[in-house]
Amino acid sequence: MSERLQKVMAHAGVASRRACEKLIEAGHVRVNGSVVTNLGTKVDETDRIEVDHTLINQEEPVYFILNKPKGVITSVEDEKKRKTVLDFFKHKVNERIYPVGRLDYDTSGALLLTNDGKLDYLLTHPKFEIDKTYVAKVEGIPSESELDKLRKGIRLEKNVKSAPADVKLLKKVGENEQDGLIELTIHEGKNHEVKKMLQAINHPVHKLKRISFANLNVDGLEVGKWRPLRKREIRDLFELQNQENGKNN
């Protein structure tokens, strides 16, 4: 799969994406021997990319799952100097990795990080409908009729409606069993979507954790810890694309 030249350069550790764009526009970059100045240029792993006549190394793809703690930013860097998910990988991973999708600052759980743009596209593009499962502690106990609204899709804003979700009440929690523990599976990635969905049925979220993403979970992984994906897990992730292609044929 081809990707924009500046993205490939950034992943290879040349510079930030914006700085790579400036290098391209200034004529410092050659692709297969020819100077390229168009920011829309796309390349793949077969192309020879040089910056000031120095060949860049396109990294081998790597894949990691992190059990993200709450209170950490899902970003490569933060202008406010807050802790980011990449801080867990400093001095331990040499490749230029980045998070696939995002988890809110106060949301914990399963987060994939990689340098593989092809997989990033597969897991984040809405057309592939990748499942994400959350457990939420909410205020009050939702009724079945309220949960049915989420199963059918509920209006979040004037022109925004959620897709149908799989949802169930796991149990009542709290000192007097006054709150509910909800499991909810969605395949969209709108900003704060789970929180907005539960707020829309008047049961605001007190605590939120993503327990699985596609075929990945954080079972046995302590909060703040990470591990490389197993070969089988990587293969299964790419198989999701084949399944989606089969639906569309």
User: Can you give the pLDDT at residue 247?
Assistant: 58
Residues involved in catalysis: 104
Residues pairing with 73 in the sheet: 84
* pLDDT at residue 94 in the model: 85
Helix ranges, the chain (H): 5-11, 17-25, 117-124, 144-152, 193-200, 231-248
pLDDT at 80: 87
Domains of the chain in sequence order: 3-55 (3.10.290.10), 63-127+215-248 (3.30.70.580), 131-213 (3.30.70.1560)
CA atoms within 13 A on the CB side of 199: 11
Query: What is the number of other CB atoms lying within 10 angstroms of the CB of residue 236?
Result: 14
Query: How do beta strands 155-157 and 29-31 pair?
Result: unpaired
pLDDT at 249 over 70: no
Q: Stretch 164-175: mean pLDDT, rounded?
A: 95
Residue 139 clears pLDDT 90, i.e. is over it: yes
Question: Would you say residue 226 has pLDDT above 60?
Answer: yes
pLDDT over 90 for what percent of the chain? 64
Q: CA 49 → CA 12, 68, 225, distances in Å?
A: 11, 35, 35
Band of the pLDDT at 194, cuts 50, 70, 90? Answer: very high
Instruction: Output 13 or 220, whichever has higher pLDDT.
Output: 220
On whether the CB atoms of residues 203 and 181 are closer than 8 A, the answer is no
CA angle 104, 105, 109 (to 5 degrees): 65
Instruction: Specify the 3-state DSSP secondary structure of 207.
Output: strand
Enumerate the β-bridge partners of residue 43.
Answer: 3
